[in-house]
Amino acid sequence: MSEVLIRIGKKDDLPRVLELIKELAKYERAPNEVTNTLEMMEVDGFGANPIYGFFVAESTNGIVGISLYYWRYSTWKGKRLYLEDIIVTESERGKGTGKKLFERTMKHSLEQHCAGMMWQVLDWNDPAINFYKKYGTRFGEEWLNCSLEREQIERFFGS
């Protein structure tokens, strides 16, 4: 087994990052939901006002996983790290890569003086749920996820 190193993501990593995002969408049974592009990711992550960051897991096989995060602000708690996704390519799962990415992300939240970190997990994703339980994760039951897509907002305003 080759050694996996965790490092901060770079703009040159984005093509592989987008491949991993599409792999995750397929795993989560929503392969047609990815509308993000390399151009959007470059602007949003490396433009004048970056809104996300990421770590990559790299081995001799190249980038085999990512942890993508951004900042949230809680009126009750202050600055928090929001872990959008941990993705490990299928052939590398079960080898500790996800653990390394998650722990590096937790450490980053401390380095950035966050009050904590948060994320979501699908209720049917038992491997991920069991993984997070090992860290003493608190799973919520009260809050419902809400979203509006751009097209819905445009229709509302008659755009």
Q: Among residues 25, 147, 145, which one has the least CA distance to residue 85?
A: 25
Q: Among residues 23, 28, 149, which one has the least CA distance to residue 88?
A: 23
d(CA 41, CA 11): 9
Q: Which of 52, 70, 82, 132 is catalytic?
A: 132
Residue that is written with structure tokens 């994703």 in the block:
125
Establish whether 135 is a catalytic residue: no
Residue that is written with structure tokens 């050694």 in the block:
3
Catalytic residue ranges? 132
